Amino acid sequence: MATYKIREMSWVEFDKRRKETNTVIIPTGACEIYGPHLPMGSDGFAAEGVAQLIAERTGALIAPMTEIADSGALLDYPGTITVSPALYRMWMKELIDNLVNYGFKNLLFITGHAASVAPISSVAMEYQIEKGIKFAQIDWWRFTALHGDDIFDMKGRMAHGHASECGTSVMLYLRPDLVDMDKATCITPPPETGDFTDINHYVPISEKTPNATVGDATLGTREKGEKIVEKCVNRIIEFMEAKWEI
């Protein structure tokens, strides 16, 4: 079966395939604490799984995933690996340079880690202005929150908090081999950690949860994961067809 991942291709196959599409999907993740039941690479596994589903339907290629990001806000428990924002931005710029030089005109980022959204947008907008490329970015977990009201039992942080109902469901669908539901928990964060939502301010995750789960992970199911992923993928492809004529 043909692959869409650049890193799985020979250079000969890549040279052929890059001439058949203008679009490359760039999944980005992180390595960070993600509750006791999910792997620390969940952001990236979700991003790459979604990228695969989009590629299968559009013929776009998939760039090598960036697995580490600025996760400095999640160092309260062991396991998080983080890099500086400056280094991350430099890495994104170098990656985009490579892809643009190979002829890609449409860059779709599936961003699994919230802290990566701003630096990716900053770099990509420079290329859109200076080199005429088109880019779009899916802030994955915020995107699922926008489209999941009819799918999840809980609302707000209890459904879409860190490693909660949504994240657990997505992983049960895309990578069930890495999920241990026997360790899933329901953690209701203190109300004061979710107030003043109109003001950006930093609340350490250790003030929200003792185990890096924020919300109810016990309600996660494969069926919910399939529904939210399918709904979001359909919406992304709708955009690509309308704006990029994929």
**pLDDT value at position 197?**
85
**pLDDT value at position 246?**
84
Residue ranges of alpha helices (H) inside the chain are: 11-17, 42-58, 85-101, 117-131, 140-147, 156-160, 165-174, 222-243
**pLDDT value at position 245?**
85
Whole-model pTM? 0.96
Which residues have CB under 8 Å from 94's CB, separation 6+? none
Neighbours of 67 (CB within 10 A): 18
- φ/ψ of 80, rounded to 5, equals -60, 135
Q: Are the C-beta atoms of 6 and 22 separated by less than 8 Å?
A: no
Q: Which residue, chain included where needed, has tokens 């985009």?
A: 96
Residue 178 and residue 114: Cα distance in Å, rounded?
Answer: 22
**pLDDT value at position 211?**
97
- φ/ψ of 108, rounded to 5, equals -110, 115
Residue 136 and residue 110: Cα distance in Å, rounded?
Answer: 9
Q: Which residues lie across from 136 on neighbouring strands?
A: 108
Which CATH architecture fits 6-243?
3-Layer(aba) Sandwich (3.40)
Which residues have CB under 8 Å from 44's CB, separation 6+? 27, 28, 29, 30, 31, 65, 66, 67, 112
Residue 199 and residue 170: Cα distance in Å, rounded?
Answer: 29
Tokens of 130: 């200076």
- The pLDDT tens digits along the chain (246 residues) read 689 999 999 999 999 999 999 999 999 999 999 999 999 999 999 999 999 999 999 999 999 999 999 999 999 999 999 999 999 999 999 999 999 999 999 999 999 999 999 999 999 999 999 999 999 999 999 999 999 999 999 999 999 999 999 999 999 999 999 999 999 999 999 999 989 989 988 899 999 999 999 999 999 999 999 999 999 999 999 999 999 988
Q: Which residues lie across from 187 on neighbouring strands?
A: 215
Q: Are the C-beta atoms of 140 and 111 separated by less than 8 Å?
A: yes
**pLDDT value at position 96?**
97
